[in-house]
């Protein structure tokens, strides 16, 4: 559910989540979702304690930024994509997004 929110819930072409918009616009990759990564009372109230890691890989920052800004593509790790697809399969939804493998075992852009 969190992977779906971060990658599919949109306002126009941009993710609803302001933090995700900031990092993606700056060339980060959505790397990992951690439940109870932040156990403070405020974060538990705001986001059920979920904490998201974004990675800035110097080799792909510019490419990620361009993909996001020009094409509205979100770059995510294999682990995050797995969460997204496992949630879709458990609900019985068809997988209708297309994947483009950019570099084996490194990243996939969803569009």
Q: 3-state class of 106 per DSSP?
A: coil
CA-based angle 62:63:68, to the nearest 5? Answer: 100
What is the model's pLDDT at position 84? 85
Q: What is the CATH number of the domain that holds 89?
A: 3.40.630.150
What would the two tokens of residue 57 be? Answer: 């890989």
The whole domain housing 47 covers 2-110
Other beta carbons within 10 angstroms of residue 52's beta carbon come to 20
Overall domain count for the chain: 1
- Per-block average pLDDT, block size 10, for the chain (111 residues)? 87 91 96 85 81 94 96 93 73 40 40 34
What is the model's pLDDT at position 61? 97
What is the pTM assigned to this prediction? Answer: 0.71
What is the model's pLDDT at position 72? 93
């Amino acid at each position: 559910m969190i992977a779906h929110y971060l990658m599919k819930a949109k306002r126009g072409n941009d993710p609803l989540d302001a933090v995700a918009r900031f990092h993606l616009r700056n060339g980060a990759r959505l790397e990992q979702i951690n439940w109870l990564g932040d156990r403070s009372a405020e974060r538990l109230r705001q986001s059920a304690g979920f904490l998201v890691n974004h990675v800035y890989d110097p080799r792909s920052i510019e490419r990620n930024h361009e993909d996001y800004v020009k094409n509205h593509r979100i770059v995510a790790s294999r682990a995050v994509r797995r969460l997204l697809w496992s949630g879709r399969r458990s609900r019985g939804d068809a997988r209708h997004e297309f994947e483009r493998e950019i570099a084996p075992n490194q990243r996939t852009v969803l569009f």
